[in-house]
C-alpha cells in the first residue's frame, strides 16, 4: 500500500524557514516522482515543487530562489526546504506521487498524481 506522510509544518514569522518532510512507503521510492502542492484558504490547490526520480527539480515561479526540494532515496524521504517565508506561503502542504514510475509531463497538475499525503499546516505570520 502506497503511503505518504508529510510533516514539518508549523508557525513561523515572515522571513523565517521551515523544512517539510515527506516519508514514503509501499513502493519503489527511487523510481517515482514526488511533488509538493499547497492549498490556501479560499484558493485552489497549486503545485509548488517537484523532483523526478533522476533528481531534476521544478518550482512554481512564486517560490523560486526561496524553496529547495531534495530527496534521500536511502530514507525514502523528500524534503522541501522553505526559506524567506512570506505570509502568502501560508497553506496546507501536501506531498503526492503518481501511481507508477511514469514520466510526469505536467508536474503542476493534480491529475498527474494518484497518491497524496495527509497534509501539514504552514502558517507564516507578518
Q: Give DSSP secondary structure letters for 42-89.
A: TS--EEEEEE-TT--EEE-GGGTTTEEEEEETTTTEEEEEE-S--GGG
Q: Please give the average per-residue pLDDT across 106-123, as a whole number.
A: 96
> For residue 103, what pLDDT band results from cuts at 50, 70 and 90?
confident
Residue 87 banded pLDDT, cuts 50, 70, 90? very high
- Structure letter (DSSP) for residue 114: S
Give the pLDDT of residue 116.
97
Phi, psi (5° rounding) for residue 108? -85, 0
Confidence class of residue 126 from pLDDT cuts 50, 70 and 90? very high
- The per-residue pLDDT for 23 is 97
- Are the C-beta atoms of residues 31 and 53 closer than 8 Å to each other? yes
DSSP state of 100: S
Question: How confident is the model at residue 100, as a pLDDT?
Answer: 81
What share of the chain has pLDDT > 70, as a percent? 100
* pLDDT at residue 6, rounded to an integer: 98
Residue 24 confidence (pLDDT) above 90: yes
- The answer, yes or no, to whether residue 99 has pLDDT greater than 80, is no
Amino acid at each position: 500500500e502506497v503511503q505518504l506522510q508529510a510533516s514539518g509544518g508549523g508557525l513561523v514569522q515572515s522571513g523565517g524557514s521551515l523544512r517539510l518532510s515527506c516519508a514514503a512507503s509501499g513502493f519503489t521510492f527511487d523510481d517515482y516522482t514526488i511533488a509538493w502542492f499547497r492549498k490556501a484558504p479560499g484558493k485552489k490547490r497549486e503545485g509548488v515543487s517537484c523532483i523526478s526520480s533522476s533528481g531534476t527539480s521544478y518550482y512554481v515561479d512564486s517560490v523560486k530562489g526561496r524553496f529547495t526540494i531534495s530527496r534521500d532515496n536511502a530514507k525514502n524521504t523528500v524534503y522541501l526546504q522553505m526559506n524567506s517565508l512570506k505570509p502568502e506561503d501560508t497553506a496546507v502542504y501536501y506531498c503526492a506521487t503518481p501511481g507508477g514510475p511514469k514520466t510526469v509531463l505536467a508536474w503542476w497538475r493534480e491529475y498527474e498524481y494518484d497518491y497524496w499525503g495527509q497534509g501539514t499546516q504552514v502558517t507564516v505570520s507578518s
